[in-house]
Structure 1
Amino acid sequence: MTSNISDTIVSVGVDDPDARLFENQYALPHGMSYNSYALLGEGGDDIVVLDSVEAGSGEQWIRQIEEATGGKAPRWLVAHHAEPDHTANIVAALKRWPGCTLVASQKCLDMISNFYPAFDFSGRTRAVKEGDILDAGTHRLRFIAAPMIHWPEVMMSYDETEKVLFSADGFGRFGSLQYDPVHWVDEARRYYCNIVGKYGPMVQSLLKKVSGLEIRYIAPLHGPVLKAPVDRELDLYNRWSTYTPETRGVMVAYASIYGNTAVCALRLAEMLRERGCGEVYTADLTVGEPSEAVGRAFRYGTIVLCAPTYDAGVYPAMKNFLSRLVSKGIRNRRIALVQNGSWAPVAASVMRKMLEDQPGMEFLDPVVTIRSSMKESDLAELGRLADAVTT
């Protein structure tokens, strides 16, 4: 599908509302978009295409480019990022347009050669680095190194003419372009925390680089183009990349085998609401999408973890959740622990051990232990934990 961002910038990417997994692991209830952009000019100006699309949509992508350009072949094909969902059709494009040159960082060019070794790229590439300019006439692209957002070769580019930041995977969002853009924040958070979350310091470095730019649009490789003012989106990226809670509230994450731990977790959530803890979000880790739970953990400043002991450890659904949080760099959170065990309960100590090496973690007292099921005698201790969370 094509749409005009401006008189000389056309979106030529593809939208897949039926996509169900991203990276073959993250659920896509609203599909996915794979964005590409054509920069047009006047007269003898060079045409620039920014990025390719996923493997199954190459013919549609090339057809849309040629419709946008009136059949004129692009002079430059920029690859901001080597991942195959953005480079799978580069070889087809270079074969179709013999006069087209592939522009990317040297690391990106090396990766592309490794992904597509059957094609001879010699004489068809131009390596760029931080600060380099691609002057296409109407459009002047200045390149911005963005390593580890979320691969090491990534570059972004800034169109000095139209004031557009082409942000690669940065500022992306799960969901097809048909998905309501009003919901950008939730799916953008889930995307950021699971795809980029580990690399907060690198995102901070990027934000400093772009802080002085006049930005009319942010054009990512996934999700909608963001229009000025983009202060909200920049502020959210600053919060997420510094692991700063987004809002006042508590996440109660629980995993339960027979429902007894769930009863305790939900009763604690009621106590927290009664005490005015702000938003109280409950997540059943045994049935929900894991990436959604990870995203929510980045939103709130306090996380309550409720799980039974299992195999002298912690129940697998909770263990998986905590492993994901650690791998995404979670830090600066207050943690409350509730464990269940019919004998020898150890879930709380295991959960704490999984998180205690993360920077800025504060563990609250008391640790609540229930034996098999919650009883009236457990409510006082649960109330004390609710008080500690509220403080």
Structure 2
Amino acid sequence: MYNVQEIAPAIYWVGGTDKRLERFENMFPLPQGVAYNSYLIMDEKIALMDTVDSAISAQFLENIEHVLGGRTLDYLVVGHMEPDHCANIEELLRRYPELKIVGNKKTFQFMEQFYSFSKPDNYLIVKEGEELSLGEHTLRFMMAPFVHWPEVMFTYEVSKKILFSADAFGCFGSLSGNIFSDQTDFDGVYLEESRRYYSNIVGKYGPQVQNVLKKVAKQDIEMICPLHGPVWRENLSYILDRYQKWSAYQPEKRGVVLVYASMYGNTENVMNLIASKLSAKGVQDIRMYDVSKTHPSYIISDAWKFSHLVFGSPTYNLGLYHGMQALLHEMASLNLQNRKVSLVGNYTWANAAVREMTEILESMKKIEFVGEPFEINSALKPEQLPELDQLVEAIYASLNADAAEAAAAGAGATV
């Protein structure tokens, strides 16, 4: 049965949700599933904004047929060529042979890489700033390369001031009837998943996101329609401000994330002591993760949120513990930067963990090491507690310095 919602006069959400999918891109856990958004603009000419994943094709095609009411589909605008948004292009061409597919040059290169059909007579190649009139509605195209693929394109509908933003401003998590962010407890339901989505999917491309945010700022926008997650029609500055901060690699909050690997609990014990000592000093909202138990996407999301990170790991096979090595390499590949970092190492006969963690972190931008690395030989000894206290004090002092700097900046802004 069709399931559509009108999001603005003559503009319909025709997407769907998949609550059964367990991993996004077969990699990232989806405890609440995922939404695939698509939008249909009814006018003298009818335009569909992207398609959906093959998992919900039947629902999607039924939705389109219902809204069309016997009319034909004139345009399909392809904002992003990833298969979770373009899996139905060939089926739409079969149903609507005169359909014009709108995209940029790179769009069609990728389309013919993914699929076996080639329909150049159906292709309409557009460039930055070009417009397409549907009648009362006008579509203006805005290139957004590497947000997060090179062919990505935003579309701005001029009359209703709607930005169709491809994967930008999206999030993990399915929709449950309420398709607008203001209909939900966004902070409680979607914010963490928005950050996890951004940091792991788009996070590598902060400079490119900054560039497209400058383009977006020049438009008068009243609604943002992403391809995943809720639609934004109120308080747009909320999500725009977060994208500004995330893409500039600025922490949202002063605080500490402790991440550790521990085979027999000795490294974990040190990390627990650090956390307890910081808590005793008044540090709040401390996060702790075991790399062997927590999917790295959740750790990376909190690394994007907080200002200070503490990594603890044993040496393993004359190198770095595999889970910690993988996490740090992933953080480096995602271009995480501008963080304060402290290190804890553990070794029995070969000392490599701190050295290898340092090498990876030094390859990243704007990483400041706080305190001297703290190392134990197999297990913590009482005589090492003063040294551990020094590390805790260094972290605490760094947090306070950041707080003082932020307060000074805030005071300066109000002058």
TM-score by length of 1: 0.96
Query: Are 1:335 and 2:341 matched, yes or no?
Result: yes
Find the counterpart in structure 1 of residue 409 from structure 2: none
Partner of 1:2: 4
Structure 2 match to 1:65:
64
SS at match of 2:286: strand
Deviations 1:29-54 (A, max 9, x none): 1101111000113xxx1111010111
Provide the C-alpha distance between the structure 2 equivalents of 1:63 and 1:127, rounded to a whole number of angstroms: 28
2 CA distance for matches of 1:130 and 1:287?
Answer: 45
- Which range is displaced more, 27-36 or 275-284? 275-284
Residue aligned with 2:314, SS:
strand
Matched, 1:33 2:35: yes
Percent of aligned pairs with the same residue?
Answer: 40
Change (3 A) 1:185 1:78: same
Partner of 1:171 in structure 2?
A: 169
- Distance in 2 between residues matched to 1:256 and 1:294, nearest whole Å: 19
- Alpha-carbon shift at residue 63 of structure 1 (Å): 1.1
1:346 CA displacement: 2.0
- Separation in 1, partners of 2:341, 2:155: 40
Tell me the CA shift for residue 364 of structure 1.
Answer: 1.7
Matched residue type, 1:234: L
| Structure-2 separation of matches of 1:341 and 1:194 | 31
Unaligned runs of 5+ in 2: 179-183, 398-415
Is the CA contact 1:171–1:220 (under 8 Å) kept in the aligned structure 2?
Answer: yes
What is aligned with 1:211? 217
Contact 1:248 1:278 in 2 (8 A): no
Which residue number corresponds to residue 49 of structure 2?
50
Change (3 A) 1:181 1:158: farther
Question: Superposition RMSD on alpha carbons, in Å?
Answer: 1.3
Q: Secondary structure at the match of 1:279?
A: coil
- Work out which of the residue numbers 386, 390, 396 in structure 2 matches 1:384: 390
The residue that corresponds to 2:157 in the other structure is 159
Residue 121 of structure 2: SS of its match in structure 1? coil
Structure 2 residue aligned with 1:370: 376
Moved more, 233-242 or 180-189: 180-189
For these two proteins, the number of residue pairs brought into alignment is 387
Partner of 2:99: 100
Preserved CA contact (<8 Å) 2:18 2:55: no
Aligned counterpart, 1:249: 255
Gaps of 5+ in 1: none
- In 1, distance between residues paired with 2:340 and 2:271? 17
SS of residue in 1 equivalent to 2:310:
strand
Q: For residues 103-182 of structure 1, what are the structure 2 equivalents within 5 Å?
A: 103-117=102-116, 119-178=117-176, 182=186
Is 1:344 the counterpart of 2:350 in the alignment? yes
1:161-193 deviation per Cα after TM superposition (whole angstroms, max 9, x unaligned): 111111100011011113965222210111111
User: Does the CA contact (< 8 Å) of 1:366 and 1:381 recur in 2?
Assistant: no
Equivalent residue number for residue 297 of structure 1: 303
What is the rounded CA distance, in whole Å, between the counterparts of 2:170 and 2:89 in structure 1?
A: 21
- SS in structure 2 opposite 1:304? strand
SS at match of 1:10: strand
Secondary structure at the aligned position of 1:156 is classed as strand
- For residues 72 and 272 of structure 1, the distance between their equivalents in structure 2, rounded to whole angstroms, comes to 65
Q: TM-score, normalised by structure 2?
A: 0.91
